[in-house]
Every structure is written in structure tokens, then in C-alpha cells.
Amino acid sequence: MSKNENKQIQALIRRFEAIYDGQPWYGTNILSSLQNIRPEVSVRSLLPEKKNIAEILRHMVAWRQFLIEHLQGNHSYVIELNTALDWPAVDGLSWEELLEEFAASQTTILSLLAEQEDALLKKLLSNGQHQYNFRYLIEGVLQHDAYHLGQINLLGAFFRSQVQAE
């Protein structure tokens, strides 16, 4: 495959790299942010019944897995909002295991995207109610990561300030 056949895919790969461990325009990357979270802080909740950092990270992996499944051709893979697939349990997983799970999703996405041509971006998908294309899905996962990265950074800063005050 010539580079002309996947210039847009390469641009999306660079965005995944920037948000994960590069220099995104909006601030700290995911890896740097997660390295600043201590394991005991990852499971603290700001309010009862609200998600903690570990749960948010696992949720991010769930939607990355959704992308992976579709890139691998499993177009019947569906995640219903606010279900166990959308918010998988973190019970029994260490913080290190969650970080490894996220890193593995990054490696898999980059590998699968590198095999694709730009024509993939126009390929239609459907969740039963709505039709969208791969570009929409890939952009959505990137935006989803950025959104939750903001939550992780906010929660991390809050809990660090609490520890310093103690």
C-alpha cells in the first residue's frame, strides 16, 4: 500500500499517538496523566454512586474495544449505554492491570489502523438505529478519550490536593 492510499488514516494514527503519549494541543497526554495517579487514588470517588478513575479508564477501554471489534470485522459487536459492557467492572483488577489493558488497546488500534486504506473511513456501519461511517467512529473514540482524560485529570488533581492537605 502506498502512503497516498492512507494519508488520512496516518493522520488519525498520529492523533491516537498524541493523545496517548505525545503532545496533544489541549495539554497532558493520557499516559502522563495516568502515571500521576496512585493506585489507591484510582478507586476513590468524589461523590457516592459516581465513577472513579479506574472505572472511567475501563470504560475508555470498552469503547476502544468497540472500535477494535469493528476494525476486525465484527460488526455485530454492540455496546448498550449504561450496561456492563459500557461500564465494565474493575473488581479484581489492579491499577497496573488496568494500565496494561489500556496500553494493549492502544497497540491494537494503531496496528489495525496501519493496515487500512483511507477508503475504510467512508465504510458504513450501523448500530441498528443509526448509520455512521468509520471516520465518525474513530473520531468519536478520540473525542471520548479526550473527554474522559479531562475527568481523570480533574479527579486526580482533586485527590492530590486532598492528600497534600492531610
Q: Of residues 22 and 2, which shows the higher confidence score?
A: 22
pLDDT value for 127: 80
Residue written as cell 476494525? 71
| CATH assignment, 3-165 | 1.20.120.450
Query: Residues of 76-94 as b/e, b for ≥16 C-beta within 10 angstroms?
Result: eeebeeeeebebbebeeee
Residue written as cell 503532545? 23
Question: pTM for the whole thing?
Answer: 0.94
Burial of 151 (0-12, 13-18, 19+ CB in 10 A): middle
| SS3 labels along 21-46 | HCCCCCCCCHHHHHHCCCHHHHCCCC
pLDDT value for 37: 96
pLDDT value for 101: 98
Write the pLDDT tens digit of every residue in 79-138: 999 999 999 999 999 999 999 999 999 999 999 999 999 999 999 998 878 899 999 999
